[in-house]
Structure 1
């Protein structure tokens, strides 16, 4: 039975295709050892790009549902996960309350950090941002939004604001599975520092954010907001982390 993908959904097409194929594997529509349709066939069935198809297949392979055989095709694994993984407590680790990058936090817990770009756009600075960065009404900001994962489990959405004039190099950076701190340092800046406490609040996952975190809309999230500085004391960025509380532990 052919299903359609919803291009208007807030859930990315690759994630929709991944979940659809996963459900077909789990319900026996594709048996262990069976070859799944080719990329051309999947393109004809669902009308999505090869990039979308390849990402969905790669994530299923990484999770043990598929096995890729070069020159032969992609097959259902002989020993697939018997049940869908639970949506809660899939990854839980601690992070000290100093400025430790997410990549470092994952490494200290023997987990692999991942990153996927959601959006990068130039926006107008509001009063709070203008006050922090010290510019007038002409000041513009780069709004950088990424999903951060640990062992492929979504942990948080990062929402960071940088002044365009100083951090314009971020427009050309590669954010896929990359440490933002590494990008900043490689462009001549120091590692971000905190000169004041962060604010930690609770919020509910909005409908447009929840699919990226693989949680239902309204799921409780931590919101950690901080003002970060360069090593010379100059303002670097304003950051917000929208964190799935059941997958993250703060050590304070």
Structure 2
């Protein structure tokens, strides 16, 4: 173990890794504090502190007289690591793989002309057009995201013929040889205004995620700019720090 880091923190990381690698399964009891103390060469107070922290963080739960168990994570919560996905990384594809039924409710679509901001985000000239698609994303009957998506019209000349309440946008982009393969993202937390709160079915002022991202295709063309407002009850983000 690395003695530059507190022992209980190192033990937390070990337990979390075993959970993520499915070595400790949801509903399964973890080893006793005495056994872990013997295994890792630490005292029982260190084990107790690590376990207490993981209970607080929602990884574990205790059953009096029975032991400590791995808590089943929310299966509806999706991990939106767009940059680390291969193939079709769209939300529709992620939900499809999870076996969750997704419905898209389109509440706005059409040409966008003269928007310096949108054209800048899509690397378009002033005289070029973008196409906008505004949707509420619904998983198993619950709205989880409101998305304002813009794509360069020059790459998708027949986009007006498709109903994106039924068709996956990324499937459509893939067929047109402009599938997003890399993403630049910016994530912030903010309070939901009245309009977004109504669309997400949450109280006005609820803390939500706002993520803006630009995506590029395999040729390096910017093919999408999206502002997405997400209910944090249905999404999680993981960040990995890289050593310099």
Structure 2 length as normaliser, TM-score? 0.59
Q: Secondary structure at the match of 1:107?
A: helix
Structure 1 equivalent of residue 128 of structure 2: 139
2:179 pairs with 1:191? yes
Cα distance change on mapping 1:211 and 1:134 into 2, 3 Å? closer
Q: Distance in 2 between matches of 1:162 and 1:107?
A: 23
Give 1:247 shift: 1.8
Q: Distance in 1 between matches of 2:136 and 2:108?
A: 10
Q: Is the 8 A contact 2:122 2:225 kept in 1?
A: no
Structure 2 equivalent of residue 230 of structure 1: 217
Runs of at least 4 residues off by over 6 Å: none
2:151 pairs with 1:151? no
Cα distance change on mapping 1:136 and 1:103 into 2, 3 Å? closer
Task: Find the partner of 1:240 among 227, 234, 237.
Answer: 227
Structure 1 equivalent of residue 170 of structure 2: 181
Matched positions, count: 162
Q: Is the 8 A contact 2:182 2:216 kept in 1?
A: yes
Task: Find the partner of 1:204 among 191, 205, 226.
Answer: 191
Q: Distance in 1 between matches of 2:124 and 2:80?
A: 33
Q: Which has the larger radius of gyration?
A: 2
Q: Is the 8 A contact 1:90 1:153 kept in 2?
A: no
Structure 2 equivalent of residue 106 of structure 1: 95
Q: Distance in 2 between matches of 1:178 and 1:130?
A: 25
Give 1:200 shift: 0.4
Which runs of 5 or more residues in structure 2 are unaligned? 1-73, 240-244
Give 1:97 shift: 4.0
Q: Secondary structure at the match of 1:251?
A: coil
Give 1:229 shift: 1.1
Cα distance change on mapping 1:133 and 1:212 into 2, 3 Å? closer
Which runs of 5 or more residues in structure 1 are unaligned? 1-88
Q: Distance in 2 between matches of 1:94 and 1:126?
A: 32
> For residues 25-60 of structure 1, what are the alpha-carbon distances to aligned partners after superposition, in whole Å with 9 as ceiling and x for unaligned?
xxxxxxxxxxxxxxxxxxxxxxxxxxxxxxxxxxxx
Structure 1 length as normaliser, TM-score? 0.58
